[in-house]
Structure 1
Amino acid sequence: MDSLIDQSGRREKLNLNWEDAFRLYEHSIACENEVLRVQATIKLARMSKHAPETILERSVPILVQLLTSPISDLNPSIHEASAYCLKCIACEYQGRLALLIGESGAVPSILRLLLHSEGSLQRTLLKCLRNLVTFAERNRIIVFRSGGLEIVVSMLNACPDGLESYLLEILSALALSREVRRRAIFTSGGVRFLIESARRGRMLSRRRAAQAIGLLGLVKSARPTLVASGAIQALLELLQVGDASTKLVAGNALGVISSHVDYIRPVAQAGAIPLYVELLQGPEPMGKEIAEDVFCILAIVEENAVIIAEHLVRILQGDNAGAKAAAADVLWDLSGYKHLQHILRNSNAIPILVELLQDQNVNVREKVSGAIAQLSYNEADRVALADSGAIPVLINMLQDELEDLRDNAAETLVNFSEDPLLRDRISSVVDSPAFHSMQIRLMQIRASDVHVASSLRNISIEHLTGDPSLN
């Protein structure tokens, strides 16, 4: 094996005969010389990044066999060399070899050795386990069903020196499995350590932990445990210091937690709103969607809505077209909240929206016109819109080449036509095809809504409670 690699592990020539190399490795393992077996296995690990996939596939059963041998039969150094080699191989070929290692029976042996090891062997075993669960999803289930979650949490509770980061990385990967998340709630310290894994270690691992927290937060009964364990603070920290992908995951996870009425105020009071403003202004479309959804949740509380409206108005006055469209989209949603209508009027949003009806960006005009259409259902907002000069702009928009803009303008003008104070000001367009078509459409929608409401009123309590499946 000495001819295959030098002491520094540099890449060998491409004309290396890998079949001869593998036969030499098999011969080394079969001999009685334990030192030679250890050396050959370490050299195989160093060469793994250059070896063909088929060679590594054939090596896995040999390495797993070495790993599964009783400790009393072999010096622990061969276990460490085998775990080290499997750790290196698991990183290669897009996780296919990691899955092969997991399905070859390595996991139970690694967990068994963990319980009776210490020092460098224990560290190497944890690194190997980390790579197995990182590069192959199926291995997470294998580890969990082999009792790995309990072992990892137990070791974390014991606070092993210098090993906590590996254990937290393993836990964050395991927690992406639904089975593990269900069990984590009932495992002593499981949720607490999941939160800790979102706060420490490599960003990839922290992102996985944040994703797992969000998935666990979908279970309503799990949210109190998450919040009590510090999930809000951990996710907010990731929103501040994470890379672009991590911020998206953390923002989404925190949004899941904030959807519970008990946590709307704590999330906002912890400083979430400015961080979601950054997402709204960022380049990621998904970030804008997440921020919009969370703002619609947080704005249920009036004091939050005031702060959110101030930020949205500031964005609308800026130069970022994408952010302006997103801010108008949020206002579109919030304008449907009856308890916020006075807040939006007081925020100076309406004259700014009217001005943006003539913005050069089509997406901005579309979102703004939609928000204005929604605002026009309220009498006080209609007056504010008219006073801000919206009517002539909306009349001109009836001729716009974009259907959505024409529809939004027509919807607003139909609502104006039903207001005795404003009806005369839009008399010039009541006979236009766009106006007339929208008027008929709205009449049909309202008639349908009345019918549905009437049907619901006729459903008695007995109808609902008489079905055993609803009890």
Structure 2
Amino acid sequence: MSHSEAQTSIDLDPDWGKAFEQYENVMSSGTEAMRIKAMSKLAHLCKHAPEVILARTIPILAEILCDVPSNISNQPIQEAALYCLGHIARQGNGALATGIGQYGVIKSILRFLPHSDNGFQRVMMKCLWILVTFGKKNREVLAGAGGLEIILSMLNLHEDGIRRYSLEILSALALLREVRRVLTSLGGLRFLVEAASCGSMVSRERACQAIGLLGVTRRARRLLVELGVIPVLIDFFRNGDSKAKLVAGNSLGMISAHVQYIRPVAQAGAIPLFAELLRGPEPVGKEIAEDVFCILAVAEVNAVEISEYLVAILREGDDEAKAAAADVLWDLSSYKHSVSVVQNSGAIPLLVELLRDGDSGVGEKVSGAIAQLSYAEADRVALANEGVIPLLIDLLQANSEEVRDNVAEALVNFSEDPLYCDRISEVIDLLSFENMQNRLIRIRASDEHMTRSLRRMSIEQLTRESDLI
């Protein structure tokens, strides 16, 4: 069979084993034009070919790149090989992309990049982008071969289409701990912020996630803020999909975890966005919003705005959102602001009304908030005026142990107030009341009584891959 007949049969023969043999024959002894045509046809057919057949083509294609010195290039055939490898890498579940990296293709691309013209660089960068997007192990291969420095160099040199590929490759590399360790010293933070502001949604999520991880350290956090990361994260939070909101919210929490940045994050419009996250269906989103609200509320002006959104949720949200809002109010009620933020927000009547459903998940959080509020004299007055004391007494018999503990704590505080001690006398002999009273006495005596600490997001939350959040 002639080479031209073999090439034609590649398109038509349903026997993939035979088709591969014909392809291998063309690649080993065909003319350059025939080899390029065969690779082009393979690229178009790879969506239909079995993965086992595609895997057998990889070493043939890799050899075209690996066995040529970096200063000598046969550009058309190498471009065809890269084009074909890029199509193959997109198939399957990432195994083919990883296999391509294991055959030395990534290292070959890095060898050729400095010696190639702009057009060939674009082909190589696109192939590299595909390899690190579809094969996560390839990110380690690229970083280990000095790829980070080369990608940063490309970003310093190019403002054209190559830049988009470079930014998205950088966002993939930045999920590696060893890359994040050196990214700041190599001057790469500004490019990571840029990667979070443009490109595909997946790449922007990766960049935002890496920013959150880098934001753990004081120096990196300061540099990121100086580079304009707050409005970038806010924009992604506002306009991204549900996964994007979780990632951006997490990262904003890490950036705000310093008193210097609490107000800038809020002034950029973060509070309404976190309120929507608190209302939303995602349990992880609620957790993130609660944590960040407890950070932002350290600033009294932020606490006032946050409490307004929480009150709206207590009025209109579903049970899960109401429970989350009550949990935040539980924390806010322990803060030492110049005014009672919770009382002034109008939350107390709503909390007392919700307390009537004391055995629910909402009731547990609401009773905790009321217990914390009962430590302040002005808040005790407001609670009593809403008729909370009879409700607290009734709930000493609640099914929920947490509710019983919370209402007993509140009643102990009311019993120590001369204005209300007579109204508490009927429950003083109850075992649950006595147990809580003794517990509080021990805590106060040992100087362990502390307000609930501001919650901080954990590193574990931020190390999840975006597709697992």
| Length-normalised TM-score, structure 1 | 0.89
Which residue in the other structure is 1:274 paired with?
272
User: Identity of paired residues, percent?
Assistant: 57
Q: Does 1:4 align with 2:4?
A: no
Secondary structure in 2 aligned to 1:401?
Answer: coil
Q: Does 1:377 align with 2:383?
A: no
Cα displacement (A) at 1:402: 1.9
Structure 2: any 5+ residue segments left out of the alignment? 1-6, 451-469
Cα displacement (A) at 1:142: 1.7
Cα displacement (A) at 1:349: 1.6
Cα displacement (A) at 1:281: 1.2
Residue pair 2:367, 2:406 contacting (<8 A) in 1 also = yes
Q: Does 1:151 align with 2:150?
A: yes
Cα distance change on mapping 1:119 and 1:451 into 2, 3 Å: closer
Structure of greater relative contact order (alpha carbons < 8 Å, 6+ residues apart): 2
Match of 2:226 among 213, 228, 232: 228
Which residue in the other structure is 2:330 paired with?
332
Residue pair 1:197, 1:206 contacting (<8 A) in 2 also = yes
Inter-partner Cα distance in structure 2 for 1:340 and 1:317: 26
- Structure 2 counterpart of 1:20, which letter? K
Residue pair 1:334, 1:340 contacting (<8 A) in 2 also = no
Structure 1: any 5+ residue segments left out of the alignment? 7-11, 453-471
Kindly report which structure 2 residues correspond to 1:232-311, keeping only aligned pairs within 5 A, or say none. Answer: 232-311=230-309
Residue pair 2:75, 2:120 contacting (<8 A) in 1 also = yes
Which residue in the other structure is 1:87 paired with?
86
Inter-partner Cα distance in structure 2 for 1:425 and 1:251: 46
Which residue in the other structure is 1:163 paired with?
162
Cα displacement (A) at 1:263: 0.9
Q: Does 1:50 align with 2:28?
A: no
Kindly report which structure 2 residues correspond to 1:117-156, keeping only aligned pairs within 5 A, or say none. Answer: 117-156=116-155
- Structure 1 counterpart of 2:77, which letter? I
Cα displacement (A) at 1:250: 0.5
Secondary structure in 1 aligned to 2:175?
Answer: coil
Kindly report which structure 2 residues correspond to 1:24-43, keeping only aligned pairs within 5 A, or say none. Answer: 24-43=22-41
- Structure 1 counterpart of 2:309, which letter? H
Which residue in the other structure is 1:410 paired with?
408
Match of 1:342 among 333, 337, 340: 340
Query: Per-residue CA shift, 1:135-178, capped at 9, x if unaligned?
Result: 22222122122222222222222224222211111111111111
Inter-partner Cα distance in structure 2 for 1:408 and 1:144: 53
Bigger drift between 383-392 and 351-360 goes to 351-360
Residue pair 2:359, 2:399 contacting (<8 A) in 1 also = no
Cα displacement (A) at 1:23: 1.2
Cα displacement (A) at 1:321: 2.3
Cα displacement (A) at 1:121: 2.9
Bigger drift between 67-76 and 191-200 goes to 67-76
- Structure 2 counterpart of 1:222, which letter? A
- Structure 2 counterpart of 1:210, which letter? C
Bigger drift between 193-202 and 438-447 goes to 438-447
Residue pair 1:215, 1:253 contacting (<8 A) in 2 also = yes
Bigger drift between 360-369 and 129-138 goes to 360-369
Secondary structure in 1 aligned to 2:47?
Answer: coil
Cα distance change on mapping 1:68 and 1:233 into 2, 3 Å: same
Which residue in the other structure is 1:194 paired with?
192
- Structure 2 counterpart of 1:370, which letter? G
Cα distance change on mapping 1:308 and 1:81 into 2, 3 Å: same
Inter-partner Cα distance in structure 2 for 1:47 and 1:448: 75
Query: Per-residue CA shift, 1:54-97, capped at 9, x if unaligned?
Result: 22222221111111232676631111111112212222221112
Query: Per-residue CA shift, 1:296-317, capped at 9, x if unaligned?
Result: 1111111111111121112212
Cα displacement (A) at 1:119: 4.8
Which residue in the other structure is 1:63 paired with?
61
Residue pair 2:392, 2:411 contacting (<8 A) in 1 also = yes
Which residue in the other structure is 1:21 paired with?
19
Inter-partner Cα distance in structure 2 for 1:248 and 1:134: 21
Cα displacement (A) at 1:340: 6.1
Inter-partner Cα distance in structure 1 for 2:16 and 2:208: 42
- Structure 2 counterpart of 1:274, which letter? P
Bigger drift between 43-52 and 300-309 goes to 43-52
Cα displacement (A) at 1:446: 3.4
Cα displacement (A) at 1:3: 2.5
Query: Per-residue CA shift, 1:419-464, capped at 9, x if unaligned?
Result: 2221111111122232223223333433444599xxxxxxxxxxxx
Cα distance change on mapping 1:63 and 1:429 into 2, 3 Å: same
Which residue in the other structure is 2:438 paired with?
440
Secondary structure in 2 aligned to 1:5?
Answer: helix
- Structure 1 counterpart of 2:8, which letter? D
Inter-partner Cα distance in structure 2 for 1:416 and 1:394: 10
Inter-partner Cα distance in structure 1 for 2:264 and 2:448: 39
- Structure 2 counterpart of 1:4, which letter? I
Inter-partner Cα distance in structure 2 for 1:297 and 1:205: 28
Cα distance change on mapping 1:335 and 1:323 into 2, 3 Å: same
Inter-partner Cα distance in structure 2 for 1:240 and 1:346: 29
Inter-partner Cα distance in structure 1 for 2:358 and 2:312: 18
Alignment coverage as a number of residue pairs: 443
- Structure 1 counterpart of 2:98, which letter? L
Residue pair 2:359, 2:403 contacting (<8 A) in 1 also = no
Which residue in the other structure is 1:467 paired with?
none
RMSD after superposition: 2.1
